[in-house]
Amino acid sequence: MKRRIGILTSGGDCPGLNAAIRGVARAAYELFDAEIIGIRNGYGGLIEGDYKEMNKKQFSGILTLGGTILGTSRTPFRNMRVIEDNGVDKVAAMKKTYKDLKLDCLVTLGGNGTHKTANLLSQEGLNVIGLPKTIDNDIYGTDFTFGFHTAVDIATDVIDRIHTTAASHGRCMVIEIMGNKAGWLTLYSGVAGGADVILLPEIPYDIEKVAKTVESRAKKKKAFSILAVAEGAMTREEAKMKKKEREALRAEQNFTCISSRIAKELTELVGVEARSVVPGHIQRGGSPSAYDRVLSTQFGVHAAQLIKEGHFGVTVALKGNDIVHNDLKDIAGVPKPVPQDDPVVVTARNMGINLGD
């Protein structure tokens, strides 16, 4: 029996998207009579009916390719049921495109927002399967998302390189790692890169305690310090504020990023030469690591197996060494912060790394 499969990538790009697309397509062609429809630019393409019929050749040579051959965009979940000035009912438009294309299933590759919309479409009666991607590793129900380990490798390489220049100049370097709500990437790369201080959104920090570590190192004739700071890190006082209040405070302080503020504060408190480094979107770019190529492929193949079985309304996940799946309704919108007792947090503390608290 022939099955028509729509595939889209939504939200921020990350390494492994093309490997996952390839995994879905190649396994589908092997397991059953498949037709693949590529939806361009995420849910925006599903809303606008922007798609392309694909063939086997188009899935060749993309395993190592970064980004996404389908293009991506952000269509915030909170706006999905909002009819804006153009008068488009986005949910109705997506359902129409799905039916017009005679799809048997829609495979969505994305993060938290993508999964919330996938669950919405599932509840609207469409056959949907999710694949969890994000460098933040903050999708509930899976040990790891694809893209995370590549980003850890990149962020660790940044810290390694900053180590040498910090040591050469005797500087305190504050490296800002991506992660607004979850600190998984900062935690893993900070430990891997030998950071002296790691600041996460989940553990509000006291700048005085951070300063003591930097000062202590200086007194021990360790001329430099390395701080790995998540972009969403906040002080204890900020943690008590609402998001808009924090944003207003930082705008008033006139800092473009958290790392520059911390660098300035450490210069004033300790008297060290402190600099901030923001690698930014470098962490999301480039070819996926070997780990992510394997994981993306496994996720894609599992999705094809689910399509063969007619099992929808789920998202693929990694549990231990097993590739499994969870119901979309159980994971959509559920946060996955770094727990205080996470083994890597415990490892960091036991090594004497300052977590700011």
CATH number, position 217: 3.40.50.460
Q: Is residue 351 a part of any domain in this protein? A: no
Are residues 9 and 142 both part of a single domain? yes
Q: What are phi and psi of 274, to 5 degrees?
A: -115, 135
Are residues 18 and 62 both part of a single domain? yes
Are residues 260 and 326 both part of a single domain? no
Structural domain that includes position 156? 150-284
Tell me: pLDDT of 221 over 80: no
- Domain boundary, last residue among 251, 284, 317: 284
Which of 100, 94, 145 is CA-nearest to residue 122? 94
Are residues 155 and 245 both part of a single domain? yes
Angle of the 90-100 helix axis to the 112-123 helix axis, nearest 10: 70
Are residues 94 and 130 both part of a single domain? yes
The pLDDT score that the predictor gives to residue 171 is: 84
Which residues neighbour 93 within 8 Å (Cβ) at sequence distance 6 or greater?
A: 46, 47, 48, 49
The pLDDT score that the predictor gives to residue 265 is: 93
How far is the CA of 128 from the CAs of 59, 227, 306, 320, in angstroms? Answer: 21, 42, 10, 24
Q: Is residue 263 a part of any domain in this protein? A: yes
Are residues 22 and 138 both part of a single domain? yes
Are residues 194 and 311 both part of a single domain? no
The pLDDT score that the predictor gives to residue 132 is: 97
Instruction: Specify the amino acid at residue 159.
Output: I
What predicted TM-score, i.e. pTM, was given to this entire model? 0.93
Number of domains in the chain: 2
At 273, the pLDDT band (50, 70, 90 cuts) reads confident
Cα-only R_g, the chain = 22
Are residues 116 and 163 both part of a single domain? no
Q: Where are the alpha helices (DSSP H) in 205-275?
A: 207-219, 236-239, 243-253, 258-270
- Annotation marks residue 136 as catalytic: yes
Q: Strand 51-54 vs strand 105-110: parallel, antiparallel, or unpaired? A: unpaired
Tell me: pLDDT of 98 over 80: yes
What average pLDDT is seen over the chain?
Answer: 94
Are residues 138 and 200 both part of a single domain? no
DSSP state of 124: T
Are residues 66 and 29 both part of a single domain? yes
Q: What is the CATH number of the domain that holds 6?
A: 3.40.50.450
The alpha carbon torsion through 294, 193, 184, 13 (nearest 10 deg) reads -50
Are residues 7 and 142 both part of a single domain? yes
> Which residue out of 136, 138, 196, 292 is catalytically annotated?
136
